[in-house]
Amino acid sequence: MTTCEKGELMEPLLELKGISKSFPGVQALDDINLDLYPGEVHVLIGENGAGKSTLMKIISGAYQSDEGTMEVDGKQITKNSPIISEQLGIGMIYQELNLIPELSVAKNIFLGHPIKKGFVNQDKKMIQKSREMLKQLNMDVDPSVLVKTLGVGTQQMIEITKALSREANILVFDEPTSSLADAEIHNLFHVIRMLQEKGIGMFYISHRLEEIFEIGDRVTILRDGKKIQTTAVKDINMDQLIEKIAGRKIENLYPHTRKTPGKPLLQINNLSGRAFKNVSLHVDAGEIVGMSGLVGAGRTEVARAAFGIDKYFSGEVILNDKKLKKCSPRESVKHGFCLLPENRKTEGLALPRDVSENMLISALDQTFSFKIGSFGVVDPKKESAIVSQYISSLKIATPTARKLTQFLSGGTQQKVVLAKWLVSKCKVFIFDEPTRGIDVGAKSEIYKLMDTLVEGGAAILMISSDLSEILGMSDRIYVMCHGEINGEFDADEATQSGILQLAFGQKGKEADENEQQE
């Protein structure tokens, strides 16, 4: 076990000794030791199901550990609960935003511990105090506005403010960046460094490995509920990290090689909708096109509108030289055009239904033993033949086709969504944040599948907030900003800073010229 240099001088803020926790049938955590020092960012990393979240839930008091002890400031905590951990100065910032959209910023910040006089809330005092706290984090937000009017990045900052408002000196970040774009991440890191200087200790969970090197002091790797190693970040490199996380060697995370592009399969011309305008782009056969931009720049909205979920005001979507007449997902699917949505669990799958049903839902006609019009009867033999074919070809990790998708891991779920579209013989794919919340091992499998698809002549538009993914996988890259396409790169010319500049709203070359003319 390596110890941080700082640690030798100070008492740990928090110490976990021999923590074990099991759920029916699963040993989630097995004898974990962990410590956190003031002013340190301690990164926890591991595949999904490695036990990171369970560990953090034990720290926050949402779960009770079966064995082991927890010490905060040298004092042993016998009984923990969300309320006790809060009193101990532990603040949690979760992956999903937990703010209440219909409440004001100030009310959200003080949710669960309002400033009161007797029974009555002191609204003015809370607004004033929120303003002060937000200012400390360099945030210029009016604390009396409703949270629903704010962007995702701002909301994440409010989550942090919320945790700090409880005078936390231990913060736990559970994938805080999964819904943030790079620019917002920079802002977040800036804040984290400020907090570091104040002596606050932080646990930081992330699937984005490059973040670890940017922000982490120490890193602990977990696998299958066991601690593999704790080490100073500077003592480890990316490849070693990946190997330790996966427990095996992953040669190349981004396997994609450039193919010779064929004719354009997807063309979007001058599409304007609620959150975007005049978007034109094309994706050719054999091409993976990346789409980058800040969260809220309108990327997902373009994808949704093109696929037919939302109505667009003007413009056209052309698939394989045929214009889509109706704006509906059904029409798109008929033309071999599909969308893998960013929220797998709510938009991609029906979790209470099994793998087979999910996989076949858009291609039921292939399983019919007979049909009258659109009404057909599903033949169970055909059904199981198709499903088992895709389960094996995509290596979907499920014991049977009848397993409910809610019991599958994130990567497996994403494969089921992909299989659904492969069954429907789709050729044009929009992947919206394809690897969000998916661990490294599964990520590389998804990337391999994407590469195989374009090998077979498919066209892929990949929306991602992960710049390294964009740079690693794309042949061409569009950058969106404020609802418009702000520029385009060839993958060979693209750089991280170049993309960021465009994403932040600095005009691309063409736009610059236009502006000069005006």
Distance between CA 326 and CA 467 in Å, rounded? 34
Residue written as token pair 């008929």: 334
How far CA 360 is from CA of 2, 352, 412, 423, in Å, comes to: 51, 15, 16, 7
What does the alpha-carbon distance between residue 254 and residue 256 come to, in Å, rounded to a whole number? Answer: 6
Smallest distance, other proteins to C-beta of residue 198, A: 22
Measured from the CB atom, the residue of 409 and 468 that comes closer to other proteins is 409
Q: Do residues 108 and 159 make contact, with C-beta atoms less than 8 angstroms apart?
A: no
Q: Looking at beta carbons only, is 5 or 96 nearer to other proteins?
A: 96
H helix or E strand, kind and range, residue 322: strand 322-323
Q: Please count the residues of the chain.
A: 518
Residue 78: count other Cβ atoms within 10 Å of its Cβ: 8
Q: How far is the CB of 81 from other proteins (least distance, A)?
A: 9
Phi first, then psi, for residue 431 (nearest 5°) are -100, 115
Instruction: Determine the Cα–Cα distance for residues 392 and 390; give it in Å rounded to an integer.
Output: 5
Alpha-carbon gap, residue 287 to 301, rounded angstroms: 22
Q: Is 375 or 509 the residue whose CB approaches other proteins more closely?
A: 375
Kind of pairing, strands 368-372 and 322-323?
unpaired
Dihedral angle over CA of 377, 380, 381, 386, nearest 10 = 90
Residue closer to other proteins by CB (options 79, 330) is: 330
* Beta carbon of residue 483, minimum distance to other proteins (angstroms, whole number): 5
Q: How far is the CB of 329 from other proteins (least distance, A)?
A: 4
CA distances from 57 to 28, 34, 80, 209 (A): 12, 14, 10, 22
Using the minimum distance from each CB to other proteins, give the nearer residue, 267 or 332: 332
Quote the CA–CA distance of 442 and 410 in Å, as a whole number. Answer: 9
Strands 459-463 and 288-293: what pairing? parallel
Instruction: Count the neighbouring beta carbons within 10 Å of the beta carbon of residue 102.
Output: 10
Of 196 and 501, the one with the shorter C-beta distance to other proteins is 501
Phi, psi of 101 (to 5 degrees): -60, -30
Our CB check for other proteins shows the closer of 74 and 112 to be 112
Distance in Å, CB of 163 to other proteins, minimum: 10
Q: How far is the CB of 516 from other proteins (least distance, A)?
A: 26
Nearer to other proteins, 119 or 248 (CB): 119
Least Å distance, CB 119 to other proteins, is 5
Closest CA to 201 of 422, 443, 10: 10
Identity of the residue, 145 or 385, whose beta carbon is nearer to other proteins in the bound complex: 145
Q: Please state the closest distance from residue 326 (CB atom) to other proteins, in A.
A: 11
| CA–CA dist 374, 365 (Å, integer) | 8
Nearer to other proteins, 420 or 443 (CB): 420
**CA-to-CA distance for 295 and 436, rounded, in angstroms?**
13
